Structure 1
């Protein structure tokens, strides 16, 4: 998981590829009428290596098309692509250093979970402060919940560049054997537990896999605690405070107690170094009934041809359902169903020499034509509803996520302290799985949270 990036003055701006120099930010109209421009896009992608498909798309399709469009307007545009193939932490540190020293690309791709941290550090600014008017017909195609990926503190900083969604996957064959409907949609946590109790009667089957413990890492938080907290009615971070040993945290830990203390989940699996991978394999072997995961599970894990845990009968054997709130209306904002998502964001460097043209480039990168081209014929969720409607029409599961999940989803708080909070949440679930009471685990969680972020930051 990410750590706080060191932001010392360790880089010499003139040596950085795509460096902008120490320009004066704040002038949204500077060079607006320039007839010759140079823009740089920075991404953690490299030809023949990390995110190679994205690198090829930028180099071979985006840049030629955009320069052609600019030429038709009488503008000679040079667009440079600064490739990176580093680990996420190294990439994050480099981008932060570049932005701090007035360098970096004009358009920069970052993980959405870094957005708040970068904003608080003053490395990025609200989009309208950088480029002026952000009127764009593309916003209408990005669901409000997905737009939240590029927002912080009620302000828009960038444009999401893709996302995902979490659901409950279930094995239809096992549900049928247990006498449950194969078109299953639970409407409360109790419905899930009741289904697990029926599945418990099947020999060799683990009824419910709800990621828990520290060995699962961030998967515990994103595929377990955070969706459950949203279903309990309160996000992990709100009004400048991290949620401590609240009633909602205790409700979530009680849910874990019922799953693992009630014999509905496998506590040993949660402690294995590769427990998540093992859970994938067990599901594909018809030995796990219900599993909370992202759409990645459908398109990359149990995918019949190339999945890491292939299921030849995936299309008929695997079902999916919305994650229910604790009970109807108990979710965040009064929602009946909840989800969590991740994804990246493209931002405009506040020090760009060409704010107007950088915004044009950002719009082009997120146009329907460009987004569809970036998929290279694959079926995958995008930030745009119009593209999803077109490219996902043959995939009922991904269509379900696009139409039903994305409008209600939420995102992790993009703050520097989040990894420490996540680790504390993971330990709390590990404590419950090991037999501690939810109250004890919540108390220990609060103590760890206070130590990590300070008493004044815990609500």
Structure 2
């Protein structure tokens, strides 16, 4: 880890090409022809610990392979991997401090939700400003919507590491009992409610699980409010403003009212500390009909062998459908269907001594060969369409996410105020589930939002 330790040396350091912390726009070519380089990659991963698969990939495959490629070009490359196993917020604080003090690795893996915050603080800069020309054939393999994970305020800051997508999962066995089709694809919120009404006739079955309340935390926001807001036609953050008590928010809260006030959802479940886990178990026990979740649910929750709520008949019993907009063409950008995604991003430290080589390393990390190797044989979505086409071909659900969901998905605004906004949205849904009207819940939300982010930042 590099840090500027003696402040009296800063003036001298500024005169030396390649001194850490002094890279400025126009310095992208510094050390471009160096025959000996040292690059450090920082990730919240540790061999034998957190994100061990990623750590093993970096240590045992990426570093030796890239070093060999550089040697073949006549370059002696020393690649270091700084391992971490901290909680996400602790890791974020560490990265922010490193960048603020002119230190940190050359390439840093961060959660996409932090990107805007780091960018606004000036701790990371657009890729073009750091490395110059970023032409790369890999961009053609990363869908435009997925590239958005590494973008902020219209500028590209990094390369997505991978992503996910949200859909409506449904129990085909329960659907058959209710006389609903196995190839169900709702085209409006009303279609979902109509299916829920049919499922309501089945004894012991909760027709719809739509995450709500504060106990479910961010799951309420990402698997509930945000995709629904997108389906109502207005994202939570737009043109520098957080959405207040808009007509679209009231539409979303109105849907929550119809689900939980109309007996289509279980309001008690939303208040339980482990309510989300409980919903997984109930779905696996054929007691929930429709569930809005990410592909994590398919590959890790109801997965027949190692899932946390195993379904031996998952492949035949579980269906999936796109999340519809409120009605045709009512979603953001006139979309018929919507989704939300998350994921990580790799960024290049503006303080790097080797910007061109760091960009070359970044391209290698995100090459088809490297991305495929990072999976270690697992079927999981990646940022690259060509890799997805190959590794997901045996999994129809994940193929569906890759081909149908990723092109239409959206991401959370990566801003420092987002967690406070998310908490206020969770409370608004809790209020509706508890019986408050959508209008009153929306007004209370706006009051909380103004208190959290300031009147001038609320639309």
- Please say whether Structure 1 and Structure 2 have the same fold, judged by a TM-score greater than 0.5: yes
1:76 aligns with 2:72: no
Q: Distance in 2 between matches of 1:71 and 1:130?
A: 25
Structure 2 residue ranges without an equivalent (≥5): 7-17
* CA deviation after TM superposition for structure 1 residue 21, in Å: 3.7
Q: Secondary structure, in 3 states, of the residue corresponding to 2:133?
A: coil
CA contact 1:25–1:352 (8 Å) conserved in 2:
no
Match in the other structure for 1:286: 286
The alpha-carbon distance between structure 1 residues 456 and 437, as it changes in their structure 2 partners (threshold 3 A), is same
1:14-93 paired onto structure 2 within 5 Å = 21-26=20-25, 27-93=27-93
CA contact 2:324–2:337 (8 Å) conserved in 1:
yes
Q: Secondary structure, in 3 states, of the residue corresponding to 1:245?
A: coil
Match in the other structure for 2:10: none
Q: Secondary structure, in 3 states, of the residue corresponding to 1:184?
A: coil
Match in the other structure for 1:362: 362
CA contact 2:20–2:353 (8 Å) conserved in 1:
no
1:30-429 paired onto structure 2 within 5 Å = 30-429=30-429
Q: Secondary structure, in 3 states, of the residue corresponding to 2:194?
A: helix
* CA deviation after TM superposition for structure 1 residue 20, in Å: 7.5
Q: Distance in 2 between matches of 1:306 and 1:272?
A: 25
Q: Distance in 1 between matches of 2:339 and 2:190?
A: 18
CA contact 2:3–2:103 (8 Å) conserved in 1:
no
Moved over 6 A (4+): none
* CA deviation after TM superposition for structure 1 residue 302, in Å: 0.1
* CA deviation after TM superposition for structure 1 residue 369, in Å: 0.1
Q: Distance in 1 between matches of 2:442 and 2:45?
A: 40
Q: Secondary structure, in 3 states, of the residue corresponding to 1:208?
A: strand
Q: Secondary structure, in 3 states, of the residue corresponding to 2:59?
A: helix
1:430 aligns with 2:430: yes
Q: Distance in 1 between matches of 2:214 and 2:38?
A: 46
Match in the other structure for 1:7: none
* CA deviation after TM superposition for structure 1 residue 23, in Å: 3.0
Deviation string 1:50-90 (CA, Å, 9 cap, x unpaired) is 00110000000000100111111111100000000000011
Q: Distance in 2 between matches of 1:80 and 1:371?
A: 19
Q: Secondary structure, in 3 states, of the residue corresponding to 1:319?
A: strand
Deviation string 1:108-151 (CA, Å, 9 cap, x unpaired) is 00000000000000000000000000000000000000000000
Structure 1 residue ranges without an equivalent (≥5): 1-10
* CA deviation after TM superposition for structure 1 residue 105, in Å: 0.4
Q: Distance in 2 between matches of 1:423 and 1:329?
A: 29
The alpha-carbon distance between structure 1 residues 454 and 405, as it changes in their structure 2 partners (threshold 3 A), is same
CA contact 2:126–2:155 (8 Å) conserved in 1:
yes
CA contact 1:67–1:77 (8 Å) conserved in 2:
yes
CA contact 1:166–1:292 (8 Å) conserved in 2:
yes
* CA deviation after TM superposition for structure 1 residue 390, in Å: 0.1
Match in the other structure for 2:12: none
* CA deviation after TM superposition for structure 1 residue 14, in Å: 5.4
